[in-house]
Amino acid sequence: MSTRFQGRARRLDDYDLPEIGALIGVGEDELHAVIDVETAGGGFDRQGRPRMLFEPHIFWRELPEAKRRSAERAGLAYARWGEAPYPADSYPRLEMAMLLDSRAALRSASWGLGQIMGFNHKAAGYDTVQGMVAAFMDDEAAQLEGMVCFIRSEGLDDELRRHDWSAFARGYNGAGYATHGYHTRLAAAYAKWARIPDTVGARA
């Protein structure tokens, strides 16, 4: 895995959305809605790296206790969410965290189109977080498939199919989803995409 987090950065093809959505019985509009809310529609940043947000409060949890204070002094970890603002670019902080504990750092960031947390790599279909990140570096289709696998693993495919945005947001984003308006943003994004003709069908 490149330490610069730059792989092939392949974008979605037209058929990826219907093919991958079919794995859980949803169409393009439902997947577009989740992607829009999580990453505004793009799985890579301007440097071709996967969209990523490093979470210092998760890093605190993932670290062995003996390393927590060093990470806290470096501004890389804190015990509770919201103790400090997020930087515009999380990668410098992630790279510093990896010097302290590489695996814990990767597990403490959300990745790709669906912003899958690294500690959820198994639910996304990967044995290791390193394998998930490497796949996400190469291909938005892998990011999307990981998102769909996570949705299925967490039992949220039913909620997505019936457009129960509150229940889906609770399972996908946590108990504080309403504070951030995830459910209303999902509903609005779905309504927008439902008015737009689908691209193409899945490959034969």
pLDDT at 86: 83
How far apart are the C-alpha atoms of 173 and 68, rounded to whole Å?
Answer: 25
Instruction: Please indicate, yes or no, if residue 75 is contained in any of the structural domains.
Output: no
Residue 146 has pLDDT above 70, yes or no: yes
Instruction: Please indicate, yes or no, if residue 77 is contained in any of the structural domains.
Output: no
The whole domain housing 16 covers 1-43+139-204
pLDDT at 3: 62
8-17, 97-106, 117-126 — which is least confidently predicted? Answer: 8-17
pLDDT tens for residues 38-63? Answer: 998 799 999 999 999 999 999 999 99
Residue 201 has pLDDT above 60, yes or no: no
Residue 135 has pLDDT above 70, yes or no: yes
Instruction: Please indicate, yes or no, if residue 154 is contained in any of the structural domains.
Output: yes
Instruction: Please indicate, yes or no, if residue 108 is contained in any of the structural domains.
Output: no
Instruction: Please indicate, yes or no, if residue 147 is contained in any of the structural domains.
Output: yes
pLDDT at 8: 93
pLDDT tens for residues 2-32? Answer: 568 999 999 999 889 999 999 999 999 999 9
Packed helices 140-153 and 129-138: angle between N→C axes, nearest 10 degrees: 140
Q: What is the mean pLDDT of residues 165-179?
A: 91
Residue 199 has pLDDT above 80, yes or no: no
Instruction: Please indicate, yes or no, if residue 61 is contained in any of the structural domains.
Output: no
Instruction: Please indicate, yes or no, if residue 187 is contained in any of the structural domains.
Output: yes
Instruction: Please indicate, yes or no, if residue 131 is contained in any of the structural domains.
Output: no
pLDDT tens for residues 66-99? Answer: 999 999 999 999 988 777 778 889 999 999 999 9
What are phi and psi for residue 159, nearest 5 degrees?
-60, -40
- Domains: count for the chain: 1
pLDDT band, residue 198 (cuts 50/70/90): confident
